[in-house]
Amino acid sequence: MIIPTSGRLVLQKIKQEETIQKGSLILPSSQPKQDRYRVVNCPEPNQTLVGKIVYIDKYKGIEVTYEDEKYLVVSDEDIVAYEGQ
């Protein structure tokens, strides 16, 4: 498990899926790119964010590979929005 330092979050990218729109297949490469990430770990004050889907500034964070999985470690200030209530 990757444990971030204070003020950082560990994110995992949500894979973009193919979608069908009005009977035609839209390939992932032709869809507008909007990267979505799920928060997988963060320090105590932000524990309520674990599991939430977030959007971050482009080109932010440090990519880390752990047990053949890719993660992104970002500052909590790099989160621009999150989905949910």
CB atoms under 10 Å from CB of 16, counted, come to: 13
Q: What residues make up the domain containing 14?
A: 8-82
pLDDT averaged over every residue in the chain:
84
CATH of the domain at 18: 2.30.33.40
**In-domain check, residue 54:** yes
In a domain, 1, yes or no: no
Q: Does any domain span residue 57?
A: yes
Q: What is the largest CA-CA distance in the chain?
A: 48
Considering the domain boundaries, does residue 60 fall inside one? yes
Count of structural domains within the chain: 1
CA atoms within 13 A on the CB side of 53: 9
Tell me if 47 is assigned to some domain. yes
Report whether 10 contacts 40 (CB < 8 A): yes
In a domain, 3, yes or no: no
The pTM assigned to this predicted structure is 0.77
Chain segment 51-70, per-residue pLDDT in tens: 999 999 888 999 999 999 99
